[in-house]
Amino acid sequence: MGSTKLCTPLIFRSMLLCFSLLYLFSTLFLAFYVSLHPAKCLFRPSHFDPIQVPVFSYPANYGEHKYTIPTNRNYCSSPVYFSDYWIALEEIQDLCRNSSVDSQGLRYMKENSESFGGNFSTQKRRSYFQHLNDNVEIPCGFFKKFPVSNSDRMAMESCKGVVVVSAIFNDHDKIRQPKNLGSKTLENVCFFMIVDETTLQGLRHHQLISGKSFQYSVGVWRILKVSSTYLYENPAMNGVIPKYLVHRLFPNSKFSIWIDAKLQLMVDPLLLIHALVVSKKVDMAISRHPYFMHTMEEAMATARWRKWWDIDGLRIQMETYCENGLKPWTPNKLTYPSDVPDSALILRKHGQNSNLFSCLMFNELEAFNPRDQLAFAYVRDQISPKLRLNMFEVEVFEQVVSEYRHNLKKERASVSERSKPRKAKRVSQDKFVNNSCCSKGQNYLFQMWGESHN
């Protein structure tokens, strides 16, 4: 009787077909997952390693304005991939250890002035845009002492890796704890919240801090008290100091995240730095504005919605910028996809390019107003060396942070006359006679609208 030989089915004898089927089913599964998952702009590997317990529990009376501003964006053109937490942690640690402590070629002016930033003329500020000589000293604030205690100053200087910074002036926001922090994040990231005396009183009112200690903290945040009496009359301008001079306040840090106090961080800062800065090999990462692409659009919205009281000053600022080279956004400006950012979240790798950009931005904001979207493209397009910038999608911004409304309770809105809202100053009509003063601004608008006027 003959022997029976078992044959392997043909489908299993084809390794190529097996791998093709595996790839097909894996792709279908990922597509199905992404289509149903709420965070359509973010993709994480399975091992995220979050802390399981809440970072901090607030008292019940600190619950005002606890509801976030809703977002309705469902489309994402550029999803962000987050590496494994441990890979991101190790790579950022290596970069911090191997990075130089100095300012990578920048030297800063050290002078005394009545103004914190020196208040330089337009041409003087522009003279520093081309940084071709490392021996030239750059004006970068601190012409007056930044009023923090010695213990706080030592803590700021001891932060040698990643720092997350925010600020509250006039008690206009709440302190919100970041979510989804990895188990080693608090060992590798410093969290600093800069506040004035009014905000500090509000924290005492809610019994979040005790007045007996020299060091205050609320959850992950170390609270740094500053005396705004010695800085600017405008609280928003005081907030610009840590926003754009973070590399000077924390001189030994290698990476930083600025986050407006109206935002709550929803993704671990190490993952954000790694995905948006390190992996992209850029100096800075910032979100595109959700609505505007041209600087003049933001300027007109600022005047229309009274985001800044001095309308005449806005006109002068835009005329100055147009006269000195500001152009509307065009595809020729790529790889920059827009001229207007949403600067509520800024991620930086501290180095010559990002530090120079931050210094020059601060000088422009002191010269005109703290509306930093107006100066952004003007500085970015004209500085040298060029800034390597990642302007990520608005949908990414809306998923890595939650946004809340400002706390504008009347009883705590201000403690002095100088910080009360001012009546808007209208543009003087005589300055528009024959359009003699506004030709540069008009040329910008004609280009922006695609019109030809010879």
Q: Quick check: 282 and 370 in contact, CB under 8 A? A: no
Report the distance separating Cα 186 and Cα 217, nearest Å. 14
List beta partners, residue 384: 130
Neighbours of 99 (CB within 10 A): 18
Torsion of CA 438, 441, 444, 446, to 10 degrees: -40
Choose the weakest-confidence range: 151-165, 209-223, 282-296, 314-328. Answer: 209-223
Q: Is the pLDDT of residue 280 over 50?
A: yes
In tens, the pLDDT along 190-240 reads 999 999 999 999 999 888 998 777 789 999 999 999 988 889 999 999 999
- pLDDT higher at 102 or 373: 373
Choose the weakest-confidence range: 90-104, 225-239, 247-261. Answer: 90-104
Report the distance separating Cα 250 and Cα 257, nearest Å. 12
Element (H, E) at 246: helix 246-249
Write out the two tokens for 95.
């970069």
Q: Residue 452 — very low, low, confident or very high, per pLDDT cuts 50/70/90? A: very low
The SS3 of residue 282 is coil
Write out the two tokens for 370.
């703290």
Q: Quick check: 380 and 387 in contact, CB under 8 A? A: yes
Strand (E) positions, 16-102? 42-43, 80-81
φ, ψ dihedrals at 431, nearest 5°:
-80, -5
Q: What is the mean pLDDT of the chain?
A: 85
pLDDT for the residue 73: 73
Cβ-based neighbours of 58, under 8 Å, separated by 6 or more: 206, 208
Q: Which residues of 74-83 are buried (b: 16+ CB within 10 A; e: fewer)?
A: eebeeebebb
Report the distance separating Cα 167 and Cα 241, nearest Å. 10
The predicted model scores a pTM of 0.85
Choose the weakest-confidence range: 191-195, 304-308, 350-354. Answer: 304-308
Element (H, E) at 259: strand 255-259
- pLDDT higher at 317 or 448: 317
What is the average pLDDT across 424-444? 53
Write out the two tokens for 133.
């000589």
DSSP secondary structure letters along 120-181: --HHHHHTTSB---TTSEEP-S-SS-----HHHHHHHHT--SEEEEEEESTT-S------S-
What is the average pLDDT across 88-98? 94
Report the distance separating Cα 183 and Cα 199, nearest Å. 30
Cβ-based neighbours of 398, under 8 Å, separated by 6 or more: 71, 73
Closest CA to 299 of 376, 233, 359, 361: 376
Neighbours of 71 (CB within 10 A): 14
Closest CA to 214 of 142, 145, 146, 155: 155
Torsion of CA 149, 153, 156, 157, to 10 degrees: -170
Which of 2-6, 48-52, 319-323 shows the highest mean pLDDT?
A: 319-323
Report the distance separating Cα 350 and Cα 353, nearest Å. 8
- Report in angstroms the alpha-carbon separations of 383 from 34, 89, 126, 246: 40, 32, 9, 19
Q: Quick check: 159 and 389 in contact, CB under 8 A? A: no
In tens, the pLDDT along 107-132 reads 999 988 889 999 999 999 999 999 98
Q: Quick check: 423 and 309 in contact, CB under 8 A? A: yes
- Report in angstroms the alpha-carbon separations of 326 from 42, 373, 417, 445: 34, 13, 36, 11
